[in-house]
Amino acid sequence: MTALTAKPWVWSFAAAILVWVITVLFTGGSSSVGLSQATLTFAAFSVIVGIGQMFVITLGPGNIDLSVPATMTLSGTLALKVMDVQDSMIALGLLIAILVGVAIGIGNYALIKLLRIPPIIATLSMSFIVQSCAIWTNRGLRIKPPETLSDFTTSYSFGVPNVALVALVLSLAAWFLLEKTTYGRWISAIGQSSFAARMAGIPVDGTRFITYVLCAVLAAVAGYLLASFSGGAALNMGAEYLLMSIAVVVIGGTAVAGGNSNVPGIWGASLFMFLVVSMLNTYGFGAGVRLILTGLIIIAVILAAGGRRVAR
């Protein structure tokens, strides 16, 4: 038990389970299945964008991608326009979304590397450009996704939401990259000390480039799925995922200073974040109170995990 509680991701799962139990008890247990399925569904989108943000943050202090919401919006918008409600165009729509992510990732790193702009400024600037492109492309139209794709994103397999299964597959792939590949060891080494990594012969610039592209691609995939799930691409559909993508990384136990990532923690934190909002809505709290209590709960979870690490 001591070894288990020493793992940072345990605290986010413990908090999620606690909030789930409180919410279910308040509703008399009648909504346990529906709440669980809804939580898995909406947490899946946070997991996908959170994994991408986690890769970037693992690179070390100052590395962050603020273009995630705009990437989601543009990729979802362009994918739906290309698919044009035709089932035969689903694969092409996904390819377009991925290519959008690749282009934005390249643009982000070009600003960082070639112009020597700090990542937080570079990605924020890119987000304005990308969001403007999304506005020009969307022009107020709400194009519906193909019926087959819409059915897939809103349906379940063995009682589990399909989007959650997609997020699980991507999570396993991310875990494999981090734990079983040279690339995973490289980004951890860069996060611990960029100078030492460069002296050790690690291609720091190439690794950072791939990481920013990977983050943008995951955000684009999340936008593609979210637009299909929501029945269309809205210009503000990615807005809530800016802070969310960062919060789930921090709460999930990934080191903000870099060098240490935590894939399971992303799941626990994403489930926790949705359940907190759901619980506060159940108890009838207003928007202002919900934000205050959500912030306090997040701080409590981080302090609990941090205090445990200090004790160790």
State residue 200 phi and psi, 5-degree precision.
-80, 0
Looking at the domain covering 2-311, what would its CATH class be? Answer: mainly alpha
Task: Specify whether the CB–CB gap between 138 and 235 falls below 8 A.
Answer: yes
Q: In the chain, helix, strand, coil percent, each to 5?
A: 75, 0, 20
Q: Identify the pLDDT of residue 140.
A: 53
Q: Identify the pLDDT of residue 10.
A: 76
The per-residue pLDDT for range 16-55, each reduced to its tens digit, is: 888 888 878 876 655 677 888 888 999 999 999 999 999 9
C-alpha span between 255 and 177 (Å, rounded): 18
Q: Identify the pLDDT of residue 21.
A: 84
C-alpha span between 214 and 209 (Å, rounded): 9
Residue type, 188: S
Q: Identify the pLDDT of residue 257.
A: 77
Residue 239, Cβ density class (10 Å: 0-12 exposed, 13-18 middle, ≥19 buried) = middle
What are the extents of the domains in the chain? 2-311
Q: How far apart are the first and last CA of the chain?
A: 14
The per-residue pLDDT for range 253-275, each reduced to its tens digit, is: 887 777 788 898 899 889 988 88
Give, in order, the Cα–Cα distances in Å from 181 to each of 96, 117, 125, 186.
28, 30, 32, 9
Sequential pLDDT tens for the chain (312 residues):
555 555 666 777 887 888 888 878 876 655 677 888 888 999 999 999 999 999 999 998 889 999 999 999 999 999 999 998 899 999 999 999 999 999 999 999 999 998 888 999 999 999 999 999 888 877 656 678 999 999 999 999 988 999 999 999 999 999 999 999 999 999 999 999 888 999 999 999 999 999 999 999 999 999 999 999 988 888 888 888 888 888 888 888 887 777 788 898 899 889 988 888 877 777 777 667 767 776 776 677 666 655 444 444
Give the DSSP letter of residue 171: H
